[in-house]
Amino acid sequence: MSDTLHGARRAYSYHMPAEPSLSLNNLKLIGQENLPSSGGLLLLPSQLGYDDLLILLQLMPGREVTYLVEQGAALPPEFKAHLERENVRALAIVPDDTDVSGLQSAVGGETHEGRVVIYLPAQAAAINAPMSTVPGMKLEFLLKAAVPVLPVYVQRSVDVALDIEPRYEATAGVMAFAPVLKPEQATLAAYQESLLCLAEQAFSAHPALGMNLAYALLLGLKRHGNTNQIIDGKDGQEMRYDRVLAIASAFSRYLRRETAKKRVGIVLPPGIGGLIANVAVLLAGKVPVNLNFTAGRGSIEHAINASDIDRFITADIFVRKAQQFPWPPSRQLILIERVLPLMKGKIISWMILSKTLPAALLALLLGVPKKGGADEALLLFTSGSAGNPKGVVLSHRNVIANVIQFGSRLGLQRNDSILGSLPLFHSFGCTVTLWYPIIGGVSLVTYPSPLEAKRLGELIEKYRVSVMIATPTFLRGYLRGVNREALASIKLCVTGAEKLPAPVAEAFELKFGKRVFEGYGLTETSPVSNVNLPNPTALGDESQGYVRLPSYRQGSVGQMVPGLAIRITHPETNEPQSIHSSGMIWFKGANIFEGYLDDIKKTAEVKDENGWFRTGDIGRLDVDGFLHIEGRLSRFSKIGGEMVPHETVEEALVKAMGLENETTRKIAVVGVPDAEKGEALVLLTAMPGGPEHQEILDLRYRLLESGMTPLWIPKKMIRIPEIPILSSGKLDVQSCQKAALSGLH
């Protein structure tokens, strides 16, 4: 390759090199018809290894190729050797955002002569399955070449492998091609949106997605039976996964006989009993419905009636404890602590069978099919924060997809463990602390309540827990009642369900020396869609051309999990917008739910005919693919034609009221009808104080002085005993609305 001048310089060789070929048998190609047979273009891959390059060359026989590299980039050795061959044509560029004329002249000259310009990315340190191994700012510079651009997504099977099925790791992966972006279309936002759509298509072709969840659990319990376990923090009982499999197998036969309906209710907290009950229901070919026993009576009865449940798995002690639950007649209850001791002989038999028989034969004996696909696997209910809870039907495909997506990003090892204290009726508590540990092969330490922070801290310290999943509300409990040493083993603390307030994150990091990583998801997304993670270890000095891609960005909810596409539309008109502009968030992927239970109308309101899901949240992506949530549409008010985000107003109020160091939520903003402006903002506060009228006037002056527009400032303040919070840790919007309306009358 020739020496480089400022901008770019052409090499002098024109012929395609003779290269060894690779078999395409184990590679799935998507959109190959989008690879033009003529005409110049810039080919920008999400990532590119030497084998990927050889495949590309095979797919473009007879095309003249020019390689584009950055001066000083740390290229893999195979790329360097390839570029040093005599008949290789290449350009070396010096990225310079202030002067793109050299780039446009060089790349434009190549494409004008009909050549394919292939960008060779530098070696990059990144978390598994990134959207791209090329930083956003570099992509933005390359797209300024003002030439046709072909987005190419490369998915390596090893990055999205399912541990229980090694055969999936043997495949080469997927290579997907998007339609060529014309020069005037080739913006960074358009390129990234196209790339994420390719990622969705590539991931949706994953062969494991057709698996039945029960079969996946069977494989996981069998594969990890000797190495991983569940520890019940309530009584200290420890149970290896092989014993869980034996007990759940015996219990599943009982459930087949005793239940007539398709779905089985489960009213249990996190623990060995809750895990066994859920696994057994699935092995019995039924659908588990973990009911929210902390909800109001009306919400619970609504969920029970909608689910068409005839039997409920619970425990005698829990029946006595949860007096508010609308318990059915005792004949409908299956008390797990009474039933399991009667099965000792059967459990021993299943333990022997599970140890001696291959998984396929064991599944045959249990009547567990290998395929699940779009059939209903789970039924969860939304939190009901803004209305009656909706039944969310999750298929086998949905759950398997999210287990792979979440697991591939985390990359945990067999000696890692997760704290499971979120309720099993909570979508994160279900996928992340039930199905993922079993299938992914990590141990699980449980406790029935996320509120008892002191006890949870003791469990984390005793069992050296490495991952904790929480909400900001629950993190506040750790700040009050746990010492620094208790959390020394934590490698990763992920929070979700509600926006992470900066004061909580800062206080947690100051006290424990642990950064809190915010994630995002919804029951309808199975649930994980985004997560921040620790930045990867650098491969080498960046001054030597190595690249390190960020995996964390403060204020965001993280990058997309692999295989999830995004689009942004205007919140009111649904007109498409740049994914870098603020608007309604839509997702598409294998983890998107099938629909709402027996409610075609509500399903059609949030899912279009192409499978895109309208989240109801407002946000945008930044240049590196981090999603920034600006609020839920239900937490916006339209005042005088302007969309006002309640959470942004709350953040300003926290500062104005000096509440940055409060560890419990003290305020909430809600919208109420207003004859003049359409809506008006009301401030609910649990802070003691003087006359509300005078206090809100003082606040208004402070906020006006800080530069906040008058429309965004609450005109009324209502004092209430405490801010309503759901058991999931989310703000109870419905109760807040009632309190506001009640206080105004």
Question: Does residue 17 register a pLDDT over 50?
Answer: no
Which residues make beta-bridge pairs with 93? 70
Residue 10 belongs to a domain = no
What gap in Å lies between CA 634 and CA 3, rounded to an integer? 58
**Mean pLDDT, residues 113-129 taken together:** 89
Residue 166's pLDDT is 61
Q: Are 66 and 108 in contact (CB under 8 A)?
A: no
Q: What is the pTM of this model?
A: 0.87
Residue 16 belongs to a domain = no
What gap in Å lies between CA 660 and CA 663, rounded to an integer? 8
Select, from the ranges 13-17, 344-348, 684-688, the one with the highest average predicted confidence (pLDDT). Answer: 344-348
Question: Does residue 217 register a pLDDT over 70?
Answer: yes
* 622 and 653 belong to one structural domain: no
DSSP state of 133: S
Residue 6 belongs to a domain = no
Angle, alpha carbons 504-510-516 (nearest 5°): 50
**Mean pLDDT, residues 362-375 taken together:** 96
What gap in Å lies between CA 337 and CA 240, rounded to an integer? 18
pLDDT tens digits, 272-328: 999 999 999 999 999 999 999 988 888 899 999 999 999 999 999 999 988 889 999
Task: Return the sign of the alpha-carbon dihedral for residues 53, 54, 55, 56.
Answer: positive
- Look at residues 406, 550, 548 and name the one whose alpha carbon lies nearest to residue 467: 406
Bigger pLDDT: 414 or 18?
414
Measured in whole angstroms, the distance separating CA 689 from the mean position of its chain's CA atoms is 41
Final residue in a domain of this structure, among 611, 630, 649: 630
* 616 and 658 belong to one structural domain: no
What gap in Å lies between CA 582 and CA 184, rounded to an integer? 22
Residue 167's pLDDT is 56
Residue 470 belongs to a domain = yes
Question: Does residue 654 register a pLDDT over 80?
Answer: yes
* Percent residues over pLDDT 70 in the chain: 93
- Look at residues 2, 124, 108 and name the one whose alpha carbon lies nearest to residue 73: 124
Q: 461: number of CA atoms within 13 Å, CB side?
A: 13
Residue 240 belongs to a domain = yes
pLDDT band at 385 (very low <50, low <70, confident <90, very high): low
Bigger pLDDT: 78 or 389?
78
- DSSP line for 376-430: EEEEEE---TTSS--EEEEEHHHHHHHHHHHHHHH---TT-EEEE-S-TTSHHHH
Residue 10's pLDDT is 33
**Mean pLDDT, residues 500-523 taken together:** 92
Residue 248's pLDDT is 98
Domain containing 602: what range? 564-630
Question: Does residue 63 register a pLDDT over 80?
Answer: yes
Residue 546 belongs to a domain = no
Final residue in a domain of this structure, among 181, 205, 224: 181
Q: Are 323 and 344 in contact (CB under 8 A)?
A: no
* 285 and 224 belong to one structural domain: yes
What gap in Å lies between CA 550 and CA 126, rounded to an integer? 7
Write the CB contacts of 557 (distance below 8 Å, at least 6 apart in sequence): 496, 518, 519, 520, 530, 531, 532, 626, 627, 628, 629
pLDDT band at 428 (very low <50, low <70, confident <90, very high): confident
Q: Coil, helix or strand for 369?
A: coil
**Sheet of 565-569: strands edge to edge?**
576-577, 565-569, 583-588, 613-621, 627-632
* 472 and 575 belong to one structural domain: no
Question: Does residue 472 register a pLDDT over 90?
Answer: no
Residue 649: both structure tokens together: 């107003």
pLDDT tens digits, 137-155: 999 999 999 999 999 999 9
Residue 728's pLDDT is 64
* 609 and 682 belong to one structural domain: no
Please report, as a single letter, which amino acid is at residue 295.
A
Question: How far from 230 is each of 160, 275, 290, 380, CA to CA, in Å?
Answer: 25, 9, 19, 23
How many angstroms separate the most distant Cα atoms in the chain?
A: 86
What gap in Å lies between CA 44 and CA 116, rounded to an integer? 10
Question: Does residue 694 register a pLDDT over 90?
Answer: no
Tokens 């490698």 map to which residue? 491
CATH number at residue 489: 3.40.50.12780
pLDDT band at 663 (very low <50, low <70, confident <90, very high): low
Bigger pLDDT: 69 or 705?
69
Residue 49 belongs to a domain = yes
Q: Are 30 and 200 in contact (CB under 8 A)?
A: no
Residue 170's pLDDT is 45
Question: Does residue 7 register a pLDDT over 70?
Answer: no
CATH number at residue 577: 2.30.38.10
Residue 477: both structure tokens together: 């409990």
Measured in whole angstroms, the distance separating CA 280 from the mean position of its chain's CA atoms is 27
**Mean pLDDT, residues 49-59 taken together:** 91
pLDDT band at 23 (very low <50, low <70, confident <90, very high): low
Question: How far from 416 is each of 70, 460, 466, 490, CA to CA, in Å?
Answer: 39, 12, 6, 10
* 576 and 441 belong to one structural domain: no
Long-range residue pairs from 288-291, CB within 8 A, at least 24 positions apart, any chain: 288/263, 288/264, 288/378, 288/379, 289/263, 289/264, 289/265, 289/378, 289/379, 289/380, 290/266, 290/380, 290/423, 290/424, 290/425, 290/430, 291/265, 291/266, 291/267, 291/381, 291/425
What gap in Å lies between CA 103 and CA 144, rounded to an integer? 8
Final residue in a domain of this structure, among 531, 556, 579: 531
| Structural domains in the chain (count) | 4
Please report, as a single letter, which amino acid is at residue 242.
D
* 617 and 654 belong to one structural domain: no
pLDDT tens digits, 163-210: 887 654 445 789 999 999 999 999 999 999 999 999 999 999 999 999
* Total residues found in the chain within this entry: 745
Give the torsion through C-alpha atoms of 482, 453, 233, 299, to 10 deg. -170
* 572 and 607 belong to one structural domain: yes
* 280 and 398 belong to one structural domain: yes
Residue 97's pLDDT is 66
Question: Does residue 384 register a pLDDT over 50?
Answer: yes
- Look at residues 357, 315, 325 and name the one whose alpha carbon lies nearest to residue 218: 357
What gap in Å lies between CA 324 and CA 320, rounded to an integer? 10
Residue 22's pLDDT is 57
Q: Are strands 124-125 and 116-119 parallel, antiparallel or unpaired?
A: unpaired
Question: Does residue 627 register a pLDDT over 60?
Answer: yes
* 340 and 411 belong to one structural domain: yes
Residue 603's pLDDT is 94
Which residues make beta-bridge pairs with 176? 30, 153
* 350 and 430 belong to one structural domain: yes
* 468 and 575 belong to one structural domain: no
What gap in Å lies between CA 350 and CA 363, rounded to an integer? 12
Residue 509 belongs to a domain = yes
Question: Does residue 653 register a pLDDT over 70?
Answer: yes
Which residues make beta-bridge pairs with 156? 173
Residue 369's pLDDT is 97
Q: Are 278 and 243 in contact (CB under 8 A)?
A: no
DSSP state of 482: -
